[in-house]
Amino acid sequence: MRRFLIAGNWKMNTTRQSAVALAGELATAGSNYEAGVEILVCPPYPYLIPVAEKLSGSAVQLGAQDVYFEAPGAFTGEVAVEMLKDCRCRFVILGHSERRHVLGESDEIINRKLRAAISGGLQVVLCVGELLSERQAGQTEEVLDRQMQGGLSGVAEADAANVVIAYEPVWAIGTGVTATPEQAESAHEHLRNWLATRYTPGFSENVLILYGGSVKADNAESLLGQANVDGALVGGASLKSSTFVPIIEAARKLSART
């Protein structure tokens, strides 16, 4: 039985004060969800340390939104894996569509980051997802295959055990348009089959595959209720506990049922 993971991607939002306040609220709420539902928050780099301090001793885990693949050195503006570990991060999000499409990251760069993160002891949330034009052209599965192949190139099964996949159709991110539960399930099933072929069926059964793209309290239960949807990567609705906690609550209800 896979657990649920509900992850908040705060993107380039919050202030130090609002980040710490939100972390405090989630740390309190998180104490109710230890069985079957994991919670993760990914604040901007400058707020990792104050948020880590606020989350200390709570069930809420900390992640970053990106990392660089090189060891510390002359890479102005970049942040190394060991620095994230030093800030108590356990996870890092890689391959988010904003990094791919706004910052121009290739599958090759994402793969280098992923391998560096895993070998440095971080868990990776690897985001994949098609553009609207690609969906309309019937290329969704081809795009997912390419991004999975590129992102996990050279990654053995033992290392891939540190990867969570997030299916995030680009047309659903921050738009208020959500994939239907059927569209999400079809993509997730495809991703799980891809993992079964690339690795082994037993391995693929244990991989968490999150859905992301306009997840909110009112659509969380129907999305999380799909057989291959193991959690959510939440942007906008993760910025307030009043909108994030109900999504965690939807997962808790479903995990109590199964």
- Contact residues toward ligand PGA (CB under 6 A) are 9, 168, 173-174, 212-215, 233-237
Nearest distance, CB of residue 147 and ligand PGA, angstroms:
15
Nearest distance, CB of residue 244 and ligand PGA, angstroms:
10
Query: Is there a catalytic annotation at residue 34?
Result: no
Tell me the C-alpha distance between 206 and 227, whole Å: 13
- The C-alpha angle with vertex 161 and arms to 153 and 39, in degrees rounded to 5, equals 120
Which residue, 101 or 158, has its beta carbon nearer to ligand PGA?
A: 101
Nearest distance, CB of residue 63 and ligand PGA, angstroms:
12
Taking only Cα atoms into account, the Rg of the chain, rounded to an integer number of angstroms, comes to 17
**What type of residue is 87?**
C
* Active-site entry in 96, 98, 105, 190: 96
Which residue, 134 or 199, has its beta carbon nearer to ligand PGA?
A: 134
Nearest distance, CB of residue 2 and ligand PGA, angstroms:
20
Which residue, 214 or 226, has its beta carbon nearer to ligand PGA?
A: 214
Other residues' Cβ atoms within 10 Å of the Cβ of residue 230: 23
* Active-site entry in 105, 130, 134, 168: 168
Q: How distant, in Å, are the alpha carbons of 86, 114, 167 from that of 72?
A: 13, 16, 31
Q: How distant, in Å, are the alpha carbons of 17, 92, 148, 207, 223 from that of 144?
A: 38, 20, 6, 16, 19
Query: Is there a catalytic annotation at residue 38?
Result: no
Pair of tokens at residue 45: 């780099």
Contact 196, 239 (CB under 8 A): no
Which residue, 10 or 199, has its beta carbon nearer to ligand PGA?
A: 10
Indicate which residues carry an active-site annotation. 96, 168
